[in-house]
Amino acid sequence: MSVTGRQLCAEAEERLRAAGIDAPAGDAQVLFLHALSQSLDRPVPRHALREHLAAAVPTGLEAIYEPMIAARAARQPVSQITGRRAFWKHDFRVTPDTLDPRPETELLVELALTEHFDSVLDLGLGTGAILISLLAERPQARGMGVDLSAAALDVARGNAQIIGVKAEFAVSDWFSSVSRKFDLIVSNPPYIALNEMPKLAPEVRDWEPRMALTDDGDGLTAYRALCAGAPAHLTPSGRLMVEIGPSQGEAVAELMRAAGLVEVTVRQDLDGRDRVVWGRKPASRSA
Ligand code: GLN
């Protein structure tokens, strides 16, 4: 008798559990839906799962599903295997060249949207999740996204096109290719200190781009560059807004104050951990 979706998922679940995966049943099902979509050559929605679990699997499905489960058992993130991750109001394409958009980063988007801006710069934009979400909410605003990784920029460009926002993209080492001023500068830079790297989950440490995670130093290198360059690239009263690791609030706030930014504020994510720091360039005296 041919194998059902349920049997296939149960086997996959066991394999993922043995590999130390936290939520093996959920991952096995998400990947099953992804394999089904490929095998049937059409998107299979989540609500169709029950029906597909009860049915015999289509010919060829096992050959598509098996390498996905093998990749997950090797701790590749589900989003890299499916190539997608939901963030704010859109689905973003992700690859091994980009940091996976994370829910806590939505706080940065939420806080950025509390004020008007006509222009926004995202430094180290990765998938473009922050910049593209902001531009989708503020279609009149002009946007620029830069990254040191040309491969990441390609992913961001593709996401902007699919989601339907326009922006300028450039390879840049922080501000090196940026000559204009912006009302809002955002960044989720690499902030994990070198000595914290061994503690990361294998999904992050072994699969996400190292340059998006760590400065190979104390975790503050990027903030030094961002704070030093921000005043020259912000319009009067413009804001610099960055994501941080939970222990970095005071250090990053101090870097912003030292750079001459005012109203420096640290905000907590839904888990109550310090997650976003922002500061404002003083309004010019003549204004
Ligand atoms: N938030 C990510 C993590 O802890 C790190 C992202 C970053 O360094 N910007 O996995």
Cα separation values, 150 from 147, 186, 225, Å: 7, 19, 20
Q: Are residues 98 and 204 in the same domain?
A: yes
Q: What is the DSSP string of the chain?
A: -PPBHHHHHHHHHHHHHHTT-SSHHHHHHHHHHHHHHHHHTS---GGGHHHHHHSBPPTTHHHHHHHHHHHHHTT--HHHHHTEEEETTEEEE--TTSPPP-GGGHHHHHHHTTS--SEEEEES-TT-HHHHHHHHH-TTSEEEEEES-HHHHHHHHHHHHHHT---EEEE-STTTT--S-EEEEEE----B-GGGGGGS-HHHHTTS-HHHHB-SSSS-HHHHHHHHHHHHHEEEEEEEEEE--TT-HHHHHHHHHHTT-EEEEEEE-TTS-EEEEEEEPPPPTT-
Q: Are residues 159 and 236 in the same domain?
A: yes
Distance 287 CA to ligand 1 centre (A): 38
> Of 74, 108, 128, which residue is a domain's last?
74
* Whether residue 191 has its Cβ less than 6 Å from ligand 1: yes
Q: Binding site: which residues? A: 124-128, 147, 174, 188-191
213 CA: nearest ligand 1 atom: 8
> Of 49, 74, 99, which residue is a domain's last?
74
Distance 35 CA to ligand 1 centre (A): 29
208 CA: nearest ligand 1 atom: 10
Spans of the chain below 70 pLDDT? 1, 285-287
- Measured CA angle at 243 (ends 241, 247), to 5 deg: 125
Evaluate whether residue 110 is within a structural domain.
Answer: yes
* Whether residue 98 has its Cβ less than 6 Å from ligand 1: no
C-alpha closest to that of 77 among 104, 99, 105? 99
Phi (first) and psi of residue 174, to 5 degrees: 50, -115
CA–CA separation, 183 and 86 (whole Å) = 27
Residue 143 forms beta bridges with which residues?
A: 120
CA–CA separation, 268 and 96 (whole Å) = 28
Q: Are residues 249 and 193 in the same domain?
A: yes
Evaluate whether residue 57 is within a structural domain.
Answer: yes
Q: Are residues 195 and 233 in the same domain?
A: yes
Residue span of the structural domain in which 24 resides: 5-74
C-alpha closest to that of 282 among 256, 249, 253, 254? 256
* Whether residue 227 has its Cβ less than 6 Å from ligand 1: no
Task: Check which CATH number belongs to the domain holding 247 and give it.
Answer: 3.40.50.150
Q: Are residues 123 and 230 in the same domain?
A: yes
Distance 64 CA to ligand 1 centre (A): 31
Q: Are residues 55 and 93 in the same domain?
A: no
Distance 187 CA to ligand 1 centre (A): 12
Residue found under tokens 């005071």? 250
Distance 197 CA to ligand 1 centre (A): 10
Q: Are residues 70 and 169 in the same domain?
A: no
Q: Binding site for substrate: which residues? A: 188-191
Q: Binding site for S-adenosyl-L-methionine: which residues? A: 124-128, 147, 174, 188
Q: Are residues 67 and 95 in the same domain?
A: no
Q: Are residues 171 and 221 in the same domain?
A: yes
CA–CA separation, 282 and 263 (whole Å) = 9
Q: Are residues 16 and 133 in the same domain?
A: no
Evaluate whether residue 80 is within a structural domain.
Answer: no
99 CA: nearest ligand 1 atom: 6
Number of domains in the chain: 2
* Whether residue 185 has its Cβ less than 6 Å from ligand 1: no
Evaluate whether residue 171 is within a structural domain.
Answer: yes
Mutate to test the pocket of ligand 1, among 100, 243, 271 (most ligand atoms within 8 A of CB): 243
**pTM for this prediction:** 0.95
Q: Are residues 230 and 146 in the same domain?
A: yes
Evaluate whether residue 286 is within a structural domain.
Answer: no
pLDDT of residue 287: 47
Evaluate whether residue 260 is within a structural domain.
Answer: yes
* Whether residue 205 has its Cβ less than 6 Å from ligand 1: no
Evaluate whether residue 142 is within a structural domain.
Answer: yes
Evaluate whether residue 62 is within a structural domain.
Answer: yes
* Whether residue 126 has its Cβ less than 6 Å from ligand 1: no
Q: Are residues 17 and 107 in the same domain?
A: no
CA–CA separation, 226 and 54 (whole Å) = 54
> Of 46, 74, 102, which residue is a domain's last?
74
Distance 87 CA to ligand 1 centre (A): 15
Q: Are 191 and 79 in contact (CB under 8 A)?
A: no
